[in-house]
Amino acid sequence: MKITAIYPGTFDPITHGHVDIVTRASRIFDKVFLAVAESAGKNTLFSTDERIDLAKTALSSVENIEVCSFDKLVTDVARDLEAKIIVRGIRAAADFDHEFQMAGMNRKLYAEAETIFLRPAEHLSFISSTLVREISSLGGDVSQFVHKDVLAALDKKFPK
Instruction: Evaluate the CA torsion angle 57, 133, 137, 139 in order and state its sign.
Output: negative
For residue 92, the model assigns a pLDDT of 82
How does residue 94 score in pLDDT terms, banded at 50, 70 and 90? confident
For residue 41, the model assigns a pLDDT of 63
CATH architecture entry for 4-157: 3-Layer(aba) Sandwich (3.40)
**Domain boundary assignment for the chain:** 4-157
Q: Which neighbouring-strand residues pair with 87?
A: 116
Q: Of these residues, 91, 107, 125, 128, which one is catalytic?
A: 91
Rg of the chain in Å (alpha carbons): 15
Does 160 score more than 90 pLDDT? no
For the chain, the average pLDDT equals 95
Please say if 148 is a catalytic residue.
Answer: no
Please say if 79 is a catalytic residue.
Answer: no
How does residue 110 score in pLDDT terms, banded at 50, 70 and 90? very high
Check: CB of residue 124 under 8 Å from CB of residue 130: no
- Side chain identity, residue 136: S
Check: CB of residue 24 under 8 Å from CB of residue 45: no
**For 124-152, how does the pLDDT look when each residue is reduced to its tens digit (9 = 90+)?**
999 999 999 999 999 999 999 999 999 99
Q: Of these residues, 129, 133, 136, 147, which one is catalytic?
A: 129
Flag the least confident range among 30-34, 48-52, 72-76, 92-96: 92-96
Does 81 score more than 70 pLDDT? yes
Q: What interhelical angle do 16-28 and 48-58 show, nearest 10?
A: 60
Mean pLDDT of 33-47: 87
Check: CB of residue 6 under 8 Å from CB of residue 106: no
Please say if 69 is a catalytic residue.
Answer: no
CA 144 to chain centre: 18
